[in-house]
Amino acid sequence: MDVTNLSGTDLHLPEGRQAGQPGVTNLSGTDLHLPEGQQTRQSGVTDQGLGLETTDQGFLVNLADWNEAVARRLAGLNKIELNAERWEIIFFIRYYYQQYKHLPNARVFTKAIARELGETKGNSRYLHKLFPDGPLKYACKLAGLPKPPTCL
């Protein structure tokens, strides 16, 4: 089945799938499965006038849609001011996801940051200061990544 997204690009859904069901094909043609119960919806997020599809919790559906302008808009919608410290964590989680092809749980996330960026940044206090409502969840959201399976 072919569906056209907001950018006018044809999306090819797997056999038997319909638009709006969990599991949407992203722009690279690979199947992106949303966690059970998450639905896609059109949000007010735009990038240079292009509407972007998000989940009901505001995570980007198409990973390929992410760029720094999108991150700034997502941050604004979540009332988060992006500074150098937050960008460092956002770029770190994108790098982690690209390298390992999965998202860590909060403990592994913190330890990985400590290993790569040092103990002063790889601890819960520092990360909660940057993202009080959930460091892993909001770092992933602003990085254009899926919602981590361990986050509520």
Distance CA 77, CA 69 (A): 13
pLDDT digits (tens, 9 = 90+) for 55-86: 888 888 888 989 999 999 999 989 999 999 99
| Chosen domain end from 65, 96, 117 | 65
Does any domain span residue 72?
no
Higher model confidence: residue 106 or residue 33? 106
Geometric angle at alpha carbon 34, from 39 and 139, rounded to 5°: 100
pLDDT of residue 108: 95
Does any domain span residue 73?
no
Catalytic-role residue among 107, 147, 151, 152: 151
Identify the residue whose tokens are 């992203």: 26
- The reply to whether the predicted model has a pTM over 0.95 is no
Active site residue 140: no
Task: Return the minimum-mean-pLDDT range out of 39-43, 109-113, 116-120, 126-130.
Answer: 39-43
Q: Is the pLDDT of residue 51 over 50?
A: yes
Judge if 59 and 105 occupy the same domain: no
- Domain residues for the domain of 93 are 84-142
User: Considering its fold, how many domains does the chain have in total?
Assistant: 2
